[in-house]
Chains A and B, each alone.
Chain A
Amino acid sequence: MIMAGSVIVIGAGSAGMEVSGVLARSGVSVTLIEKTANTGGHVKNWHHLFPDHRDGADVVSYMGVRAGHKLVNILTGTEIRELSRKGGKFHATTEGGSELTGDAVVVATGFDLFDCSRKEEYGYGIYDNVHTSAELEEMFRAGRLTTASGKEPEKIGFVHCVGSRDEKVGNLYCSKLCCVTAVKQAIEVRKKLPRSKVFCFYMDMRMGGASYEELYREAQEEWGISFIRGKVSEAGEMIDHRIQVKVEDTLVGRPLKLELDMLFLMAGMEMSEAGARISRIAGLKTGENRFLLASDNHYGSNRGNVEGIFYAGSCTAPMNITETISHARAAATEVIDYLNGINLK
């Protein structure tokens, strides 16, 4: 059915682009707002994706095609200052002072990666050879994986759960993608540097997604990656700028120390600052984990507490790309029902 109506979509990552494309193909005019200069969200920063190591650029180009419709008007470098509802229409004012209107709003503000410098005991931002998972993707893309002094690293460690499952940083939840990201990146390090030894320090291996467990097994069998069960309590820099980590090898029951050339911190996912801002100006409820609160745990994940405002993607919970795209499509169907006057609470 071809229908009229207009929707404001906030955020042009994988969720925002997918929902915009689906709506446009149903005849809905979409204004897609993106605060940064480029569309593509976090995916564009990822060199390769789990579980199949495909190029992240594939997904970015898919998103471009999906959202490339004459009814989708993309405004980059734009942030919303005010959002209110008057006479059944949503009115948004941008930071630049432009006025936008829509019959409905989709929030697709995604997530921010945890700022690893908040876990000071791991030395990110203090020691030269401690980096984040996102920085490793940049290194892969640049084709250059060396220590700060330019040497090829021989021993490389990955710390799981940095900023997730950690009351000390206020994040009780599991970000659920960091485990498989560590496994993927560990394999890629071994492929790139065949002489290297790679260690993953984990509390629990959460391999619930499609093909994750198989990838974990491949990491063990084909790439000889060592998985050590224990939470790293601290990392210290040696005089030669190598990093010494301290962890309890809980399965042996003894403390373990290990010197590494490079240490990578698997940054968790947090509610984005942009999303938090939208939740404040639009009065959207958030959960204890600070993500947008769904109207129902089982069938209301695209809706919150304000009628006409819908949610797509990881502004509601940590999600992988597959889940984000599915969630965005589901959001589009909810919006279409709403525009048709079908209000299924």
Chain B
Amino acid sequence: MNRFGFSLSKGRQINYDTNDRSAAEYVIAGEPSLLACIECGGCASTCTSGNFTSFSLRQLNILLKRGENDSLRDELRKCMLCGKCTLVCPRGVNTRNVILLAMEAFNKSQDYAV
């Protein structure tokens, strides 16, 4: 097979049925304001870290809610906890606490240990 350059591709779909949403549930239980996020990107726009790395709190929030946890482990480390995102959020999401709780969730879970 390898000789012909064929391989099996991993599916790109978000499998909402099988994805593990426990990390999102943990964060939302501790910081219910995350439910009010409308994905406007104000946080990501003002984020110093996001201007130099792939970090986007908006994207992180939505991936967390979808249970797409794999890509989040490394992303979380890029946050410097400066809190500018909290200042600009039009929905009053306590974004800083979302990050802290997400880190906590992944620390508690072996599977998603940061």
Which residues of A are in contact with B by a Cβ distance under 8 Å? 121, 161, 165-168, 203-204, 229-234, 246-250, 253-256
Q: Most chain-A Cβ atoms within 10 A of its Cβ — which of B45, B88, B90?
A: B45
The complex places the Cα of A161 from the Cα of B41 at a distance, in Å, of 14
Residue B100, interface by CB 8 Å? no
Which residues of B are in contact with A by a Cβ distance under 8 Å? 38-47, 50-51, 56, 58-59, 88-92
Nearest chain A residue, comparing its CB with the CB of B93:
A167
Which residues of B have CB within 8 Å of A254? 56
Which residues of B have CB within 8 Å of A167? 89-92
Interface pairs (28), CB distance under 8 Å:
A166-B90, A167-B91, A167-B92, A168-B88, A203-B38, A204-B38, A230-B41, A230-B42, A231-B88, A233-B42, A233-B46, A233-B88, A234-B45, A234-B46, A246-B45, A246-B46, A247-B45, A248-B40, A248-B45, A248-B58, A250-B41, A250-B58, A253-B59, A255-B45, A255-B47, A255-B50, A255-B51, A255-B56
The complex places the Cα of A275 from the Cα of B12 at a distance, in Å, of 54
Nearest chain A residue, comparing its CB with the CB of B44:
A248
Q: What's the nearest-Cβ distance from chain B to residue A287, in Å?
A: 19
The complex places the Cα of A223 from the Cα of B19 at a distance, in Å, of 43
Q: What's the nearest-Cβ distance from chain A to residue B41, in Å?
A: 3
Additional 10 contacts, C-beta under 8 A, given A167-B91, A247-B41: A168-B92, A203-B90, A232-B45, A233-B43, A234-B45, A246-B45, A248-B40, A250-B58, A255-B45, A255-B51
The complex places the Cα of A248 from the Cα of B88 at a distance, in Å, of 12
Which residues of A have CB within 8 Å of B43? 233, 248
Which residues of A have CB within 8 Å of B41? 229-231, 247-250
Which residues of A have CB within 8 Å of B88? 121, 168, 231, 233-234
Nearest chain B residue, comparing its CB with the CB of A253:
B59
Asked if residues B45 and A230 are in contact (CB atoms below 8 Å), the reply is yes
Nearest chain B residue, comparing its CB with the CB of A228:
B41
Nearest chain A residue, comparing its CB with the CB of B87:
A168
The complex places the Cα of A118 from the Cα of B39 at a distance, in Å, of 23
The complex places the Cα of A203 from the Cα of B42 at a distance, in Å, of 10
The complex places the Cα of A167 from the Cα of B37 at a distance, in Å, of 12
Q: What's the nearest-Cβ distance from chain A to residue B9, in Å?
A: 22
Which residues of B have CB within 8 Å of A256? 45
Which residues of B have CB within 8 Å of A233? 42-43, 45-46, 88
Q: What's the nearest-Cβ distance from chain B to residue A41, in Å?
A: 28
Q: What's the nearest-Cβ distance from chain A to residue B47, in Å?
A: 7
- Out of B40, B50, B59, name the residue touching A230 (CB < 8 Å): B40
Q: What's the nearest-Cβ distance from chain B to residue A233, in Å?
A: 4
Which residues of A have CB within 8 Å of B45? 230-234, 246-248, 255-256
The complex places the Cα of A247 from the Cα of B51 at a distance, in Å, of 11
The complex places the Cα of A165 from the Cα of B41 at a distance, in Å, of 14
Q: What's the nearest-Cβ distance from chain A to residue B107, in Å?
A: 26
Asked if residues B90 and A250 are in contact (CB atoms below 8 Å), the reply is no
Nearest chain A residue, comparing its CB with the CB of B50:
A255
Q: What's the nearest-Cβ distance from chain A to residue B42, in Å?
A: 4
Nearest chain A residue, comparing its CB with the CB of B59:
A253
The complex places the Cα of A255 from the Cα of B41 at a distance, in Å, of 8
Which residues of B have CB within 8 Å of A161? 90
Which residues of A have CB within 8 Å of B42? 230-233, 248
Q: What's the nearest-Cβ distance from chain B to residue A163, in Å?
A: 10
Q: What's the nearest-Cβ distance from chain B to residue A165, in Å?
A: 6
Nearest chain A residue, comparing its CB with the CB of B38:
A203
Which residues of A have CB within 8 Å of B40? 203, 230-231, 248, 250
Nearest chain B residue, comparing its CB with the CB of A245:
B45
Q: What's the nearest-Cβ distance from chain B to residue A59, in Å?
A: 32
The complex places the Cα of A118 from the Cα of B46 at a distance, in Å, of 18
Q: Most chain-A Cβ atoms within 10 A of its Cβ — which of B40, B44, B56, B58?
A: B40
Nearest chain B residue, comparing its CB with the CB of A168:
B90
Which residues of B have CB within 8 Å of A246? 45-46
Contacts known (A230-B41, A232-B45); A248 close to B56, Cβ less than 8 A: yes
Q: What's the nearest-Cβ distance from chain A to residue B2, in Å?
A: 33
Nearest chain B residue, comparing its CB with the CB of A161:
B90
